[in-house]
A and B are shown apart, each in its own frame.
Chain A
Amino acid sequence: MIEASALCKRFGNVDAVNDMSFAARDGEITGLLGPNGAGKSTCLRMMYGVLTPDSGSARIDGIDIRGETSAARAHLGVLPHAAGLYNNLTARENIDYFGSLQGIGRERLRRRTDELACALGMEGFINRRVKGFSQGQRIKVALARALVHDPGNLILDEPTNGLDVMAIRSLREMLHTLRAQGRCILFSSHVMQEVAALCDRVVIIGHGRVLADDTPQAIRDRSGAQTLEEAFLHVLGDTEGVN
C-alpha cells in the first residue's frame, strides 16, 4: 500500500506538486497519468524519499518515508525515470550489487537472483556483461534490481519511455504477474493507451494537483466520453487550456 497525503513541493516560484493525496492499493496497478511537467516525477520522488516534501507525507505500508526512510524503503522497489545499469558488470552483478546494498546475505542473494532470472526470463544472459544489451533485456535487469529484496510495493517512473513494442509487451506481462502476486504497483506515464491497457485505477494529475482518482471505467462514465483519451482531455480541459 502506497499513500500520499497532502504532498506539496515548490521549486522557486513553481508549485510542482500542490496538495496531492491518493493511494495505491495492494494487488492493483495504479497509473499516475498526466501531461509532461504535471509533477509526476516530483511526486514519485517524494514517495520514494529522494526529495523532501515541503509539507504532507508519504507512507509505504503505513511507514512514513521521511521518518523511517530505511524501514519504508525495505518495503519498496523503485524503478526511476532513467534506470541506468553498470555496463562493465554482468546482469547478475548489477542485481547482486543492489541486493547486497539492501542488506541481503550472499547465499540468499544467489537464490533470489536465480529466482528472478527464471521469473523474468533472463537465464540466457544473466552472466553476460550488460554492455550491448537490448532495451528489453535492460528493462528486465532494472526491474529485477528493483525487486531483488522482494518488496511488497513497486514504484515505476515512466517505465515504458524509449522502449520498443516488444519490450513494452514484456514489461506489461511482468507487471501483471507482479499484481497477481498481490503487490502494490504505482507507475507514471503520459501515454494514454499504456494506462488504459494496464491500470486498475487511474490518478490524473495536472499542474501539480490530483484532478481525478478512480477506475478507468468510472472516469470515462463521469465525463461521458467513449475513450479514456477523451476523458483525460475532458478532465484536464479546465486547467490545461486544451480542448
Chain B
Amino acid sequence: MRALFTVFAKEFLDNLRDRRTLLSALLFGPLFGPILFGAMVSRMLNQTVVESDEPLRLTISGRDHAPGLVRYLESQGAQLKFASLSESAAREAVRSGAAQVVVILPLEYGPRFTAALPAPVLLVADSADSQTRKSADRARLLLGAYGSGIAQLRLQIRGVSPLLAVPVAVNEIDVATPTGRAVVVLGFMTYFVLFAVLMGGLYLAIDSTAGERERVSFEALLSLPVARGSLVGGKILATCAYMCLSLAISLTAFVFVFRFVPLERLGMSANLGVVTALEFFAICLPFVPLGAALMTFVASFTRSYREAQTYLTTVLLVPTLPIAFASIYSLKTNSSLMFIPSLSQHLLMTSVLKDEPIAMVDIAASAGSSSLVALLLITLTARHWRRETMLG
C-alpha cells in the first residue's frame, strides 16, 4: 500500500512538471467541449434570428413578363432587386456569390399564364450553401403559395369548389417542451464531459507505461522489491486524479458557458447550475477508474509514445459507441441500459438535465457496473505486468 502511494505521488508530480500532459489534461481536453459547445449554440442562435427577422432577398430577371407575381412577392415582404440576366449569367452570379437566389421570368411566361398552361419560372440557387439554401426554400414556398392561390381562383371561375384540390388538411402539433428541445442539443454535451474525463488521463496513462519503456526506466522499476500490482495501482490512481481534475475543470467551464449562452432565446431552458455540475461529477466518478484502467491497459501493450498515442485516440472514441447506438435506435432510458458504462452515465446526465426523477437503483447499477469493469481491467493490467514480455 505504501509503495502504491509512492508511485502515485511520483507520477502525479512527474506529470505536473510536464507541459504536454498539463496542456492536454487540464486545458485542451476539458475546455474543448465547453468552448465548441458555446460556439455551436451561439451560431444556432444567430441563424434563428436570421431566418425570422431578415427579409428574403431575391434578384428578379424579366419583371415585365409577370407583373402579378412580382407584386405578390413584394406584398409578402421580399426585397427584390431587378436585373436582366440570361440563364448562364444568373448561374454565374449565384456561383460567384453576387446574388443569393435569382428568379428568371421568361418571355413565354405571359402567354402561357394567360392560356392557363403551366407558366415557367426559373429558380437559380446553390443548395450546397446552407445560407442560400434557406433563402431558396423560402422563395420556393412563396412561389408555391402564389401558384396555389391562382389555381384556386381558376377553379372558382370555372364553377369548381377549390376545396376539391385540398384533399388532406394537415395540422402539426409539436409536443417538444423547451427543456426537451434543449436536450437534443445538450446530448452532445454529455459526450464532451466523458471526453474531458478521458483526455485528463490520456497522457499520464501513456507516460506511465509506454513512456517508461521509451526512456528505458522500466526495467529498473520492475526489478525493485515491489509487487507489480502496487506499481499498476499507483499509476492508475495518478491517472484517475488527473481525470477528476479535468472533469472538474470541464464542468466548471460548462456552468460558466451556460451563464452566457441565452438558451431561452432558442426556446430552450437548460438546467445547468452548480448543483447539476456536482451531480454530473458524482455520476461520472465511477467512469473515471474504468477509463484510467482501460487506457493504462491498452498503453501497456505499446512500445513507444507514438504507438500508444495511436491506439489511445481510438480508445477515446469507445464511449461514443453506446451513446451513438442509443441515439440511432432511439432507446428510451430504462434500467437494463444502466449496466452499460458510458451509456448509463450519458442517460443519467440527460435525466438530470431534463429534470426527471432518477431511481437510486439506476445510479447503483451505473456505478456498480462501471466499477466492476474497472476492477476487471485493473486485474488484467496487473496480470499483464507480471508477464516477462513486459520487459520488451
Decide if A and B are genuine partners.
yes
Interface stretch (choices A29-37, A100-108, A204-212, A229-237): A100-108
- Tell me whether A78 is interfacial, beta carbon within 8 Å: yes
User: Counting CB contacts under 8 A, is A22 at the interface?
Assistant: no
B220 touches A83 (CB 8 A): yes
Interface SS, B side:
helix
Q: A81 to B2, Cβ gap below 8 A? A: no
A84 within 8 A of B: yes
Interface string of A60-87 (1 = CB under 8 A from B): 0000000001110110001111111111
Q: A74 to chain B: which residues have CB within 8 Å?
A: 225
- Interface residue tally for chain A (C-beta within 8 Å): 34
Are the C-beta atoms of A98 and B224 separated by less than 8 Å?
yes
Stretch in A46-54, A172-180, A181-189 touching the partner = A46-54
Q: Are A85 and B217 in contact (CB under 8 A)?
A: yes
Q: How many angstroms from the CA of A145 to the CA of B222 in the assembled complex?
A: 13
Given the known A-B contacts A52-B388, A101-B3, A101-B6, are A69 and B225 also in contact in the complex, defined by CB atoms under 8 Å? yes
Interface hits, A35-49 → B, CB 8 Å: 45, 48-49
> Shortest distance in angstroms between A116's beta carbon and chain B's nearest beta carbon?
16
Decide: A145 and B220 in contact? CB cutoff 8 A. Answer: yes
| Interfacial chain B residues near A73, Cβ < 8 Å | 223-225
- Separation of A117 and B183 alpha carbons in the complex (Å): 62
> In the complex, what residues of A have CB within 8 A of residue B215's CB?
84-87
Select one of A45, A88, A146 contacting B18, CB under 8 A.
A88
In the complex formed, the residue of A with least CB distance to B226 is A101
Chain B 220-247 per-residue mask, 1 if CB under 8 angstroms from chain A, else 0: 1111111000000000000000000000
Quick check: which of B7-15, B60-68, B89-97, B347-355 contacts chain A, the rest being far away? B7-15
**Is A142 engaged at the interface, CB distance under 8 Å to the other chain?**
yes
User: Per a CB cutoff under 8 Å, which of A49, A50, A89 touches B13?
Assistant: A89
Q: Do A78 and B223 touch across chains, with their CB atoms under 8 A apart?
A: yes
User: Are the CB atoms of A70 and B225 closer together than 8 Å?
Assistant: yes
CB distance from B24 to the nearest CB of A (A): 15
Cβ of A133 within 8 Å of any chain B Cβ, yes or no, is: no
- Identify A97's interface contact among B10, B388, B391, CB under 8 A: B10
Give every chain A residue within 8 A of B7 (Cβ-Cβ).
101
Within 5-32 of B, Cβ neighbours of A (below 8 Å) are at 6-7, 10, 13-15, 17-18
A99 nearest in chain B by CB position = B6
Q: Report which of B2, B217, B219 forms a contact with A86, defined as CB distance below 8 A.
A: B217
What residue of chain B has the Cβ atom nearest to residue A48's Cβ?
B223
Across the interface, do A102 and B220 meet the contact criterion of CB distance under 8 Å? no
Option from B15, B17, B212, B220 in Cβ contact (under 8 Å) with A98: B220
Q: Report the nearest B residue to A87, measured CB to CB.
A: B215
Is B278 in the interface zone, CB < 8 Å from A? no
Distance in angstroms between the alpha carbons of A87 and B215 in the assembled complex: 9
Docked-complex contact A102 and B219, CB < 8 angstroms? no
Please name 14 pairs of A and B residues whose Cβ atoms are closer than 8 Å in the assembled complex, sorted by A: A48-B223, A49-B223, A50-B391, A81-B219, A82-B216, A83-B220, A84-B217, A86-B215, A86-B217, A88-B18, A89-B13, A101-B225, A103-B3, A142-B220
